[in-house]
Structure 1
Amino acid sequence: MHQNIIHESSNTYSEKPSNQRLRLAYLDGIRGLAALYVVLVHCWEPSLADALQPALLWLPMAKFLRYGIFAVVIFIVLSGYCLMLPVVRSDKKYFSGGLLGFFKRRIRRILPPYYAALLLCTLIGIFILWIEPADAFGLEDERFHILKDLFSPRFSLHDVVVYLLLFQNFGSLYINKINGPTWTVAVEWQIYFLFAVLLIPIWRRLGLFYTVAIAFAVGITLNYLMGELSFSVHPWFLGLFALGMTAAEINFSQKPSLMWMKNSLPWHKLAALFTCFGFLTEWIRFNLIQQIPEWVIHYFIALGTACFLTYCTNFLINGKPLPPAVQFLESPRLVALGVFSYSLYIIHAPIVWLVYQILLSQQLSPSILAFRWFVIAVPLSIVVAYVFYRFCERPFMSHLPAKVKSQG
């Protein structure tokens, strides 16, 4: 779903009032966990569910892997949090290097890996259609429609241009073409512009409350004005991003009212409460055939995420370790995964698709196919993503944890 999503650069450092360096490594842990979950979600073909035996073994897996959009929500909130940290901690309450400096950093951080992934997907598609007949890999079989949404070698030059311009989220004709998961990159790229030219000026002039209120109002209003187009554009994500901004300011603001909120509210209980509301409303939506608007569910999950970020960072600001229940988010392997989670997110789709099609050609039973798909595609995606990160993402990262820097 950072890093920007799922995809923001790893801004794991901030500053304490004492000017000591504060590392928020758990942010990378969350990012890595969310990206891994997205890969697992995409290693599941719902059409297999009815054929899998025994049902009791696979039913929990099917239920566990139906919340992929929640990982995207978490990525958006994380981006708002990370991009707001340097702003709220600066003396000028503005971007370092001004507006132009902000956009230069975003372009350098997001576009080179994204375009490299797009080029790789394009070359894979061309190669597949060159060596195989037109209906190869079941491309014409309706059973594999969802996988075609994940990645498809069938695309036009027009599709490539749309992806180059990061407009693939504008309409169902493009959102799941060359590299399906990158629709979130497009959404967040558009949010960056609104963050810089709308939300920050409002925040500087009117404060946090009005900024969040306007972000919510703009996002929800556009949702209803756009009609069906809103389901691909996701305009309400602007409000999710603003909630990340809110958590950052509450953590590091010197305003008395926000300091009182930071020190007085039960952030862990609020995080659990909002998250439970999110899962409950999603469960109701599944069973009532989408009677609850999607944006309502996403806002609950985003509120839970923002409260959780505030809760965890408060411990680190006060020089305390994270609570034992969440210390796993600082584990070296999970943090390392979070560092290259953007690469994992934007490069896993063709790998997952290819592994599935190769296994499908072996005439395996549904259970064996599903098992091997997970066992092969997930670690392979991680390995390929790390190699991709080293060559296509890492050279463009301006902020790296010290441990990562010392390795190369």
Structure 2
Amino acid sequence: MTAPPSREHTRLAGLDGIRGLAALFVVLHHCWLTSFPGFPSDNGPFWAGWLLYGHFAVVVFIVLSGFSLAVGPARRDWRLGGVARFAHRRAWRILPPYWTALVYSLIVAWTVVPQTDAGPPTAKSVLFYGLLIQDVFGAPSPNGAFWSIAVEAQLYVVFPLLLLVVRRFGAAAMMAAVTVVVAAVGALSPVVPAVALLDRFTPQFAALFALGAVAAGVVGGHWRAPAPWLSAVALAPVVTLIAVRGSVWTVNHYFWVDLALGPAVGLFLAALAAGRPAPLVAFLDTRPLRSLGSFSYSLYLTHAPLVVALHALVVAPHVAKGVPAFLTMVALAVPASVAVAWGFAALFELPFQRHRSWKALRTAILGRIRPARGGTAAAPRYEPEKSATP
């Protein structure tokens, strides 16, 4: 079994900044949704129209997740280092904050305000969301951001298989195989009802995840890093298409738009891993953005119930709809969401990053409790290993 790499060896400058900005964009997106009803129509001012597309932050998260998880294997000739070890580390990293956020979301939805028009969560909601199968079976959502967590968990299951294909047949073969299957689903789902059932799994994300994993080959020296401007070239036609066709068309065609957006994100991450462009890397690696990125997962998990509650209880009854409501939501919900996420991460996310087993976590907790009771022993110090998850 391969020993885990050190924190310094795994950290790539700028990735935390991307995580933080993407999570913050999702918060702003939900502020936009509460202030300008009628989604997917763009009923807001032109200067805020870009906030309608919070879905694209999830696209970035998925590509980034495949990239981050593949960095270590790419440095080891695409070897995972043990499926059981990988599964344990992913579960340890993802599930404690997720299950805690689920409890928090259920409490808010049952006692304050439901998340959606479908009404408060039910027993099925608890079961399906607790087992991360909410994209398989429908139930009232306790948290509007939870849909993507199930998708990501399912991608973790196929990740070892993707690496095996890369090792046996090459990255191009793996990418081609995944893309062909995903494109076939997209082409057939409008005309074949059985295939349309697969849409609930957001199948395009499988290709985006695979693309991120392939892009991580840059870190392992499997291919050269692309020039930074190539990402902008790949992005330009996607942005043009969205501007020309409008929000309703774009949302209704997320499947293909996501696939078109993926290469731009993958090229950007590959260039960033090589330290280019240097000014942007330096900006993304500033201390505030690194800090925001360190608890971006908690921000993603916890913000939606808070945004909905603030709008329903504070903003909607007292502030006019539209721009006044939006500006008020941004002023209230953004700092509140960041503060709650920071506290949540300190309790339920970061300890699981610093301590990689129940024994280590228990030892750290007892080490803090004993001095508080008058003891002199200091708690053992564990250096956190950088997580790959946004």
TM-score (norm: length of structure 2): 0.80
CA distance in 2, matches of 1:48, 1:328: 32
Structure 1 partner of 2:95: 111
Aligned residue number for residue 273 of structure 2: 313
Are 1:162 and 2:128 counterparts? yes
- The AA in structure 1 aligned to 2:325 is L
Distance 1:228 1:47 in 2: 32
Indicate which of 71, 80, 85 corresponds to 1:95: 80
The amino acid of 1:169's aligned partner reads: D
| Residues 1:281 and 2:241 aligned together | yes
Unaligned runs of 5+ in 2: 357-380, 386-390
Asked if 1 retains the 8 angstrom alpha-carbon contact of 2:353 and 2:384, the reply is no
Q: Report 1:1-400 matches (<5 A).
A: 21=9, 23-45=11-33, 48=36, 59-90=45-76, 93-96=78-81, 98-128=82-112, 148=116, 154-170=120-136, 173-174=138-139, 177-196=141-160, 198-223=161-186, 224-225=188-189, 227-253=195-221, 255=222, 258=223, 261-262=224-225, 265=226, 267-286=227-246, 289=249, 293-315=253-275, 322-360=277-315, 362-366=317-321, 367-397=323-353
SS of the counterpart of 1:368? helix
- The offset of 1:323, in angstroms, is 2.0
The Cα shift of 1:369 comes to: 2.6
For residue 88 of structure 1, report the CA deviation from its aligned partner: 1.2
Counterpart Cα distance in 1 of 2:338 and 2:247: 34
Change (3 A) 1:241 1:157: same
Q: CA deviation at 1:162?
A: 0.7
RMSD: 3.0
Counterpart Cα distance in 1 of 2:36 and 2:250: 23
Q: TM-score, normalised by structure 1?
A: 0.77
> d(CA) in 2 for partners of 1:87 and 1:31?
21
Return the alpha-carbon distance in structure 2 between the equivalents of residues 114 and 36 of structure 1.
Answer: 18
CA deviations on 1:291-343 (whole Å, 9 max, x unpaired) are: 9842321122211111111112223xxxxx75224421111001110010000
Structure 1 position 127, deviation (Å): 2.4
How far the C-alpha of 1:22 sits from its partner, in A, is 6.5
Given that 1:148 and 1:177 are in contact with CA atoms closer than 8 Å, whether structure 2 keeps it comes out as yes
- 2:14 alignment partner, SS class: helix
Q: Retained in 2: the 8 A contact 1:95–1:102?
A: yes
Q: How many residues align?
A: 348
Distance 2:69 2:147 in 1: 20
Which residue identity lines up with residue 331 of structure 1 in the other structure?
T
1:22–1:199 CA distance, 2 compared to 1 (3 A): closer
Deviation, structure 1 residue 227: 4.7
Q: Counterpart amino acid of 1:217?
A: V
Distance 2:85 2:34 in 1: 44
Amino acid at match of 1:158: K
Distance 1:403 1:275 in 2: 41
Q: Which amino acid aligns with 1:216?
A: T
Check conservation: 2:315, 2:329, Cα contact below 8 A.
Answer: no
Give unmatched runs, 5+ long, in structure 1. Answer: 1-10, 16-20, 129-136, 140-146, 316-320
CA distance, structure 1, for counterparts of residue 46 and residue 205 of structure 2? 29
